[in-house]
Structure 1
Amino acid sequence: MSTPTVDVHAHVLLPEVEALVAGLPGHGEAKALDARRNGPAALAVNGPMVRERVPRLTDPTVRLAAMDAQGVDVQLVSPSPSHYHYWADEETARKVYLLANESTAAHCRAAPDRLRGLGLVPLQHPDLAVHALDHALEQGLAGVEISSHAPGRELSDPAYEDLWARAEETGALLFLHPFGCTLDERLDRWYLSNTVGQPVENAVAVSHLIFSGVLDRYPGLKVIAAHGGGYLPTHIGRSDHAWSARSDAGAGCAHLPSSYLKRLYFDSLVHDPHVLRELVRAAGADRVLLGSDFPFDMGTEDPVGALRAARLPRTDFDAVRGGNAAALLSLE
């Protein structure tokens, strides 16, 4: 039997989560911050774009038809990052992750042979993170989706050690997908909030995992960085130089930063075949997974075609197309 084609970067919209948080203290401020970061021109485009895609984001039948058209056999479905709600207090955060995990699992149960899911953990409340991860796994989800940081906390924060330990112990997947960039209004025109902001946040978050020694302490962690890991994999030489040349840069991790790329996973969504080839070279063909950002406009409608354009050797092409993800997800 041939290897299935597996898309690890696909989203589900959960209206019930938004209904839960609507009107709560802090929600309005969070929406205002998001609006400020994106700017009015981006918001004017985002609304109609999302509305047009609601059926693909919510209806499993429509999703499966779109997957068939793309030649995708299996999707790893994660909640839209707009559902993180890291502003929420503990009680609300618990309700959000319970509902998000259960709703995503229900969506995937419509086609369990073709849809696998990821839940959410409230990074703003590290004490809840392990409980949220366990709950996601109890729902039959493969792991959880996390952002690049929470307010006042980077992924290198010692408060997350229990989460990394539990994820390593259980084999859970951690899908690192930013939402919002702290460069704020500097990126509020021309959709720089996404085109520059997302790769910056990916690079910062992965650098925190590397330089703080998280990947030394938990070598079995299964982290998938969205958007090809952002700017980091193609600019990792600068990190290696700093690690070698400066005592402060080299103090937290045991090995050259570039070596940790081979301990992480990256999706293929870089929108440039030359960058994708470099990502495969830097991380290894066994560490890159097909990703489309289904069904948003910053994704690709033809993830297999985008992969084919990189002109990888056949064995590497098949590994990225689905072999690596099939092994991660223990697909038959």
Structure 2
Amino acid sequence: MTAPTVDVHAHLLLSEVDKLVEGMPGWRAARELDARRNGAEALAVSGAMVGGRLPLLTEVTRRLAAMDTAGVDVQLVSPSPSHYHYWADPEVAQAVWETANTATAKHCAHAPERLIGLGVVPLQHPELAVQALDHALSEGLAGVELSSHAPARELSDPAYEPFWELAAETGAVLFLHPFGCTLDERLDRWYLSNSVGQPAENAVALSHLIFSGVFDRHPGLKLVAAHGGGYLPTHAGRADHAWRVRPDARGCAREPSHYLRHLWFDSLVHDPRVLRELVRVAGADRVLLGSDFPFDMGTTDPLAALRAAGLPEADFHAVRGGNAAALLNLSTKE
């Protein structure tokens, strides 16, 4: 039996969401914060880049053609993180998640054997996260995408406990994908907001989840970390040392590195040596193919990037699609 090649990190732009929020109270301030965090030069480059790739982000036929070229059978499609809108009040937040979830499901329904969708949840309103996840699952989505934090809230916040509980009970896939880094203007040049900010945010968010005991209380969570989990997997030794020598770091039952083998990570680390190390510390059964389709910080040939790591054949095929097929309950081919 051969598993399909599955890309778990692919994005979708939703004009319906953009039209919904434009001009609302809080929208402009959020855009101004994003501009400060990224800098004018990065925004200009990103605007042109996204404009040139808009068909890939919105048109199913173009997406499928690009998948064929890359040798990808199935994509796990998540809305662009720009659609989180964690500034929104409860009423607007509900409109955002309902619109995003429904539009994503509609996009994927054009090719249901090849496209699997994820929705969004309002992390700024933990009391509504369960309702949003329920809605995503009712739309036929596999789970939801979430950022590394919400304003004034970390993922370790006890208010998220009902959300984690429902996600574990339902087997919903949670895709951790940061949007924006709280280092703000320190990263507003040379696109440090992404090259440094994204892996830093991944590491901080995962550390909050691990050290706070979320995975001890909810061992069935299916959480996939984008960008190979950022800095944490390859620097977990320092976290382990803190856990061993400092009583204030003992929020989790086991050494932090233990939990790496209970998470999933995409393969998008841009360095074959780092990918090999990720496979070593997390396990070959916990790494999934990821491309960040179709953005410029991704790869147009995720399989070539995976081959460059020189993994054993069985590990290569596990990362190529076997692990994702098991995670997403996909059928294999003869």
- Give TM class, smaller chain: over 0.9
Counterpart residue identity of residue 323, structure 1: G
What is the identity percentage for the equivalent residue pairs of Structure 1 and Structure 2? 75
Q: Does 1:301 align with 2:331?
A: no
State the Cα distance separating 1:287 from its structure 2 match: 0.3
**Residues in 1 aligned to 2:38 and 2:201: alpha-carbon distance in whole angstroms:** 15
Unaligned runs of 5+ in 1: none
State the Cα distance separating 1:209 from its structure 2 match: 0.5
Name the residue aligned to 2:134.
134
- Give the aligned CA root-mean-square deviation in angstroms: 0.4
Name the residue aligned to 1:272.
271
Q: Does 1:89 align with 2:89?
A: yes
**Residues in 2 aligned to 1:117 and 1:96: alpha-carbon distance in whole angstroms:** 16
Name the residue aligned to 1:242.
242
**Residues in 2 aligned to 1:125 and 1:59: alpha-carbon distance in whole angstroms:** 32
Matches within 5 A, 1:216-295: 216-250=216-250, 252-295=251-294
**Residues in 2 aligned to 1:89 and 1:41: alpha-carbon distance in whole angstroms:** 31
Name the residue aligned to 1:78.
78
Name the residue aligned to 2:48.
48
Q: Any idea what SS the aligned residue of 1:118 has?
A: strand
Q: Deviations over 1:106-134 (max 9, x none)?
A: 00000000000000000001111000001
State the Cα distance separating 1:2 from its structure 2 match: 1.9
**Residues in 2 aligned to 1:82 and 1:248: alpha-carbon distance in whole angstroms:** 35
**Residues in 2 aligned to 1:213 and 1:72: alpha-carbon distance in whole angstroms:** 36
Q: Any idea what SS the aligned residue of 1:181 has?
A: coil
Q: Deviations over 1:140-178 (max 9, x none)?
A: 000000000000000000000000000000000000000
**Residues in 1 aligned to 2:53 and 2:15: alpha-carbon distance in whole angstroms:** 13
Name the residue aligned to 2:105.
105
**Residues in 2 aligned to 1:181 and 1:305: alpha-carbon distance in whole angstroms:** 30
Counterpart residue identity of residue 322, structure 2: G
Name the residue aligned to 1:322.
321
Counterpart residue identity of residue 129, structure 2: A
Name the residue aligned to 2:9.
9
**Residues in 2 aligned to 1:315 and 1:139: alpha-carbon distance in whole angstroms:** 35
**Residues in 1 aligned to 2:329 and 2:112: alpha-carbon distance in whole angstroms:** 13
Matches within 5 A, 1:196-211: 196-211=196-211
Unaligned runs of 5+ in 2: none
Counterpart residue identity of residue 287, structure 1: R
Q: Deviations over 1:152-211 (max 9, x none)?
A: 000000000000000000000000000000000000000000000000000000000100
Name the residue aligned to 2:177.
177
Number of equivalenced pairs: 331
**Residues in 1 aligned to 2:3 and 2:220: alpha-carbon distance in whole angstroms:** 24
State the Cα distance separating 1:314 from its structure 2 match: 0.4
Name the residue aligned to 1:195.
195
Counterpart residue identity of residue 174, structure 2: L
Q: Deviations over 1:39-71 (max 9, x none)?
A: 011011011100011100000000000000000
Q: Any idea what SS the aligned residue of 1:248 has?
A: helix
**Residues in 1 aligned to 2:267 and 2:28: alpha-carbon distance in whole angstroms:** 34
Q: Deviations over 1:254-281 (max 9, x none)?
A: 0010000001000000000000000000
Q: Any idea what SS the aligned residue of 1:91 has?
A: helix
**Residues in 1 aligned to 2:241 and 2:127: alpha-carbon distance in whole angstroms:** 36
Counterpart residue identity of residue 275, structure 1: V
**Residues in 1 aligned to 2:121 and 2:135: alpha-carbon distance in whole angstroms:** 9
**Residues in 2 aligned to 1:56 and 1:41: alpha-carbon distance in whole angstroms:** 24
Name the residue aligned to 1:143.
143
Counterpart residue identity of residue 281, structure 2: A
